[in-house]
Amino acid sequence: MSTFPSAGPILLDLRPGQTVFGFDILRISPLPELRCIACEARHRRTGARLLHLVADDAENLFAISFRTPPPDDTGVAHILEHSVLGGSRRFPVKDPFVEMLKSSMATFINAFTYPDRTIYPVASNVRKDYFNLVGVYLDAVFHPSIRPETLKQEGSHLELAERGNPKSPLILRGVVYNEMKGVYSDLDNILNRESSRLLFPASPYGLDSGGDPEVIPTLTYEAFTGFYRRFYSPANARIVLYGDIPTREQLEFLDAHLRECETVEQADSSIGMQPRWTAPREAEILYPVTSDEGLTRKTAITMSWLIGALPDPILELGVAVLDIVLLGHAAAPLRKALVESRLGEDLTGSGYSTGSLEGTFHVGLKGTDPERKDDLHALVFRILEGLATTGIPEEEIEIAFNQLQYSHREIQSMYPLHLMDAALSAWNFDHDPLTYLRFEGLMDGLYKRYQACPSFFTELLRTQLIDNPHRVTVTCRPDPELQERQDRRLQERLEQMKKSFAPEELDRLDAEAVALEELQSAPNSPEALATLPRLHITDLSAEPKVIPCSVVHLSRQVPLVQCDVFANGVNYLILAFDLSGMPPELLEYVPVFSSLFSKLGAGAESYVQTARRMAKKTGGLRASTFLSTDAQDAGQLLNYLTVSIKALDSTYVEALGLVRDLLLGLNLNEADRLRDVTVQRKVQLQSNLIPEGHRFAALHAARTLSSAAYLGDLWGGIPQLRLADRLAREVRGDVGPFCTKLEAVHKSLVRGSRMAACFTGSDALREPTTQWMDSLIRELGLGSGRPATSSPIAVPPGRALAEGLVAAADVGYCALCMPAPHASHPDAPLLSVFCQLLTFDYLWQEVRVKEGAYGGFASYDALAQVFEFLSYRDPAIRGTLNVYANVIDYARTGKWTEDDVERAVMACAKADEKPIRPGAATATALWRQLGHVTEELRRQRRADLLRARPETVRAAAVRLLEEGLPQGNTCVLGNQAKLEEANRGAVRPLALENVFPSTPD
């Protein structure tokens, strides 16, 4: 098995006390549990602090973090995060971040605004690329070209609705302004935001670092630049590095950049503690719904506590254990009681939230009514008191310790980012950055405390929750008129402002808007672009990265793929069941079945027994659906139900036993449980509607284009949302007909279906896996051939549709989907390149920069045969649809150089360069096996991709659009008023329908 050896040999000719390239080396600490050595240093002249986690891993990460507690709700930290990535001294291009995205091999590139810090992380497997990215990021944060226009574009600005027409109304535009309007229309976000605001009235955590749309427009340029000067200095910076590039090389590079920074006295960025209350508080707030949604069971009530945490990591880990004990799995007492109480339909985002100076704990219900508040209180306290009095069962505490192991042991995707977060969670408050990285020691310490004092956790329960008066209960009620009132208030405010402006001021505003637009439209000069460092195709590895794996064939020719990837004592298994023999009328029930699969009892066990077994023996068990087509055969649809588990070496075999019991039979006799999980599922799907509005719009628009797209919509789009809604109502009565459907799906699944599997994990568990699978195949009576009864999917007719989905969304989501060639078509690689050019050139410019949408991009699913244009949190529906209609002109006349195409090619090749982490590798290796994605084919396609030239890309794009655009379907998700406004005077108005047709309650 491949190893992930310790970093010993890489480091370390460095010693504490040395000064290397301007850095004082402070401490060298081995972290054997992470196979790292930590080197801490401080830049002598500027005071910048540094932590390098040296590991034998080629995915190198750089992150620079500034402590940025917000002074108000203007979103200044967030707007700055956007703005510093908008051009800098050495790289005077409009958007170096986007330019780097176009061609870098970055495995991660982004920026985050936390409630108390702003972090700029990048990661790459390619050393040259890594240093390119770090150079661009360092110049961006220390020498950004911030101008008044930057604040206008990224924050907000006023302009006339119609250029040159002083009679037209004033409107507000700006990237962060629109982004936050989207955030503020989502119930979960509103609840989060409000409970923080109330819990921390005297701390920066009570403010919104992201920005409140009502307050964002009040941010002045002086306050904006003042905030930058105050917090973006090396003295306020913490730099985290991870990977195998030697520390000396890193220090030399960083010193060269830091040396150019002015040394400034570090401004005070410390965060004060919230003074504690002596009595709990309550509050009521409103959130927007559409007028025909009905108001019963639309309220959310949440109880939030302020937890005393840092600087006591043992206490903090103790609360994390309590969190799992109370809410961590379906049988956990608080979760179980809340769900079974029927006081609401599902839990709100509940549990322990940490990573800040002071943690919080939340518990609550959605789908409830305001008069249930006292019952909810009583129930929560009854459960907590009960546990505190009778004691927490030892088994529950063991389960919690076991679950926490996974978070630490697992080599997740974006592993370096995970370590960065762990370091900064302590370091940001001037505590030892290794605090949370030395996880095993913390766990041991906590366990010892528990052993010495068996009432440790019940005492914690009392002090932190039961007897903790710093608690607030928020009732969030639906208000169908809220949106309209807010819109009206804004309109009135804007009208007032307009009245107060002299005509020449309006002219100036208009001139500024024109200038801003000109600035935005002007392309970067070739000289400016040439300043950016970049990779060339010759920097790519010659062949795509291969997941080392082999295939064994079990009885009845069932293939088992075994990956040879280091997994650190966590084992992953995925079973895939072919659905091509499933009767068509059952297909819509497959996602319902898969979501219930891990929530019911196995065989004769109750759901409580099974849930506890699952939490004890696995680190997660889930069923889901997989949809694609064969990479070499467009006609071959791949539709599977998958069951995946992960488990530690010590519990893996028992975890397999649980999977077997679930596959042999689900306990459908607990009618109340079936009702509860069906209602929960409805609420969960509904809460995805607005945050993923663009996805729902795209699935809806694509449903008539191919069988894969049709099934995609049926399984994950509006039809599934509506089915969930219908089922939630049906199960209030007799659950019999529903059970019959579930049984039919189950039967069709295991009888005569084809199966495949993939395993990644410890060598010693390979043999037990094959033996277990052989006996499972016999027990289930699975087949290996394609089922004889395979029935083709009937795709509904319809092309050139124009539709609107009405929902309570403050901003719009626009999708245009058209039919496109399959992955096996020679145009496919060329169209991936076109997709890349379109996203980062035309759509970025037109939809994000000019129309002010938070996101605008193209996507090409060559396996589903769909090419789509999407916008996200979009204030300008008609404008965006016009942009889509003009893509063909862009394709015909766009001036792409050899260089542009080379960069787009590199960005496409990036998908094959991802670091191989065990969980993701298991899934990828399985789909490659099932979809006939051979290594030969991958090499072939890489070679085809590298041959793309401007003229071949253009020819393929024009072919796609000439044929596809006239047949393309449009779908926009938005609120009634916005959609009607978009339809006014439109040549092809959108046919509107409500996402949820009103139904009597």
Residues that bind Zn ion (CB under 5 A): 179
Residue 112, both tokens: 């985050």
| Cα angle for residues 371, 373, 374 (degrees, 5° grid) | 100
Nearest distance, CB of residue 79 and Zn ion, angstroms: 8
Residue nearest to Zn ion (CB): 179
Nearest distance, CB of residue 179 and Zn ion, angstroms: 5
Nearest distance, CB of residue 124 and Zn ion, angstroms: 23
Q: Which is nearer to Zn ion, 79 or 908 (CB)?
A: 79
Nearest distance, CB of residue 676 and Zn ion, angstroms: 37
Q: What is the CA radius of gyration of the chain?
A: 28
Nearest distance, CB of residue 694 and Zn ion, angstroms: 16
Q: Which is nearer to Zn ion, 253 or 854 (CB)?
A: 854
Nearest distance, CB of residue 112 and Zn ion, angstroms: 9
Nearest distance, CB of residue 78 and Zn ion, angstroms: 6
Q: Which is nearer to Zn ion, 179 or 676 (CB)?
A: 179
Nearest distance, CB of residue 113 and Zn ion, angstroms: 7
Rounded distance between C-alpha atoms, residue 667 and residue 610, angstroms: 10
Q: Which is nearer to Zn ion, 179 or 827 (CB)?
A: 179
**How would you classify the pairing of strands 36-43 and 23-31?**
antiparallel
Rounded distance between C-alpha atoms, residue 409 and residue 824, angstroms: 39
Rounded distance between C-alpha atoms, residue 874 and residue 848, angstroms: 8
Contact 203, 173 (CB under 8 A): no
Rounded distance between C-alpha atoms, residue 27 and residue 37, angstroms: 10
Contact 347, 681 (CB under 8 A): no
Q: Burial, 974: exposed, middle or buried (Cβ in 10 Å; 0-12, 13-18, 19+)? A: buried
Angle between helices 313-327 and 373-390 (to 10 degrees): 110
Residue 242, both tokens: 């991870």
Q: Which is nearer to Zn ion, 155 or 313 (CB)?
A: 155
Q: Which is nearer to Zn ion, 172 or 634 (CB)?
A: 172
Contact 817, 705 (CB under 8 A): yes
Q: Which is nearer to Zn ion, 211 or 950 (CB)?
A: 211
Q: Which is nearer to Zn ion, 179 or 346 (CB)?
A: 179
Q: Which is nearer to Zn ion, 179 or 578 (CB)?
A: 179
Distances (CA, A) of 351 to 147, 348, 360: 42, 9, 8
Q: Which is nearer to Zn ion, 159 or 179 (CB)?
A: 179
Rounded distance between C-alpha atoms, residue 239 and residue 690, angstroms: 36
Rounded distance between C-alpha atoms, residue 806 and residue 877, angstroms: 13
Nearest distance, CB of residue 177 and Zn ion, angstroms: 10
The residue behind tokens 């596959």 is: 663
Angle between helices 671-688 and 736-750 (to 10 degrees): 80
Nearest distance, CB of residue 84 and Zn ion, angstroms: 12
Rounded distance between C-alpha atoms, residue 65 and residue 352, angstroms: 24
Nearest distance, CB of residue 955 and Zn ion, angstroms: 37
Mapped onto helix, strand or coil, the DSSP state of residue 219 is coil
Mapped onto helix, strand or coil, the DSSP state of residue 967 is helix
Q: Which is nearer to Zn ion, 52 or 873 (CB)?
A: 873
Rounded distance between C-alpha atoms, residue 154 and residue 142, angstroms: 18
Distances (CA, A) of 222 to 148, 151, 262, 271: 9, 11, 20, 23
The residue behind tokens 């006081």 is: 343
- Whole-angstrom distance between the N-terminal and C-terminal Cα of the chain? 58
| Cα angle for residues 170, 94, 695 (degrees, 5° grid) | 70
DSSP structure class, residue 293? S
Pick from 813, 823, 821: which is nearest to 856 by CA?
A: 813
Q: Which is nearer to Zn ion, 108 or 927 (CB)?
A: 108
Residue 599, both tokens: 């929530």
Nearest distance, CB of residue 159 and Zn ion, angstroms: 21
Nearest distance, CB of residue 207 and Zn ion, angstroms: 16
Distances (CA, A) of 13 to 4, 59, 131, 834, 846: 21, 22, 22, 48, 52
- 450: amino acid identity, one letter: Y
Q: Which is nearer to Zn ion, 115 or 433 (CB)?
A: 115
Q: Which is nearer to Zn ion, 111 or 656 (CB)?
A: 111
Rounded distance between C-alpha atoms, residue 46 and residue 263, angstroms: 5
Pick from 591, 598, 596: which is nearest to 678 by CA?
A: 596
Q: Which is nearer to Zn ion, 118 or 203 (CB)?
A: 118
Q: Which is nearer to Zn ion, 433 or 812 (CB)?
A: 812
Contact 787, 670 (CB under 8 A): no
DSSP structure class, residue 992? E
Nearest distance, CB of residue 76 and Zn ion, angstroms: 13
Nearest distance, CB of residue 68 and Zn ion, angstroms: 14
The residue behind tokens 């209960």 is: 473
Rounded distance between C-alpha atoms, residue 245 and residue 134, angstroms: 13
Q: Which is nearer to Zn ion, 41 or 80 (CB)?
A: 80
Nearest distance, CB of residue 692 and Zn ion, angstroms: 17
Nearest distance, CB of residue 219 and Zn ion, angstroms: 14
Rounded distance between C-alpha atoms, residue 596 and residue 590, angstroms: 10
Contact 681, 595 (CB under 8 A): yes
Nearest distance, CB of residue 189 and Zn ion, angstroms: 13
Q: Which is nearer to Zn ion, 179 or 396 (CB)?
A: 179
Burial letters for 405-441: b for 16+ Cβ neighbours within 10 Å, e otherwise? bbebbbbebbbbbebbbbbbbbbbbeebbbbbbbbee
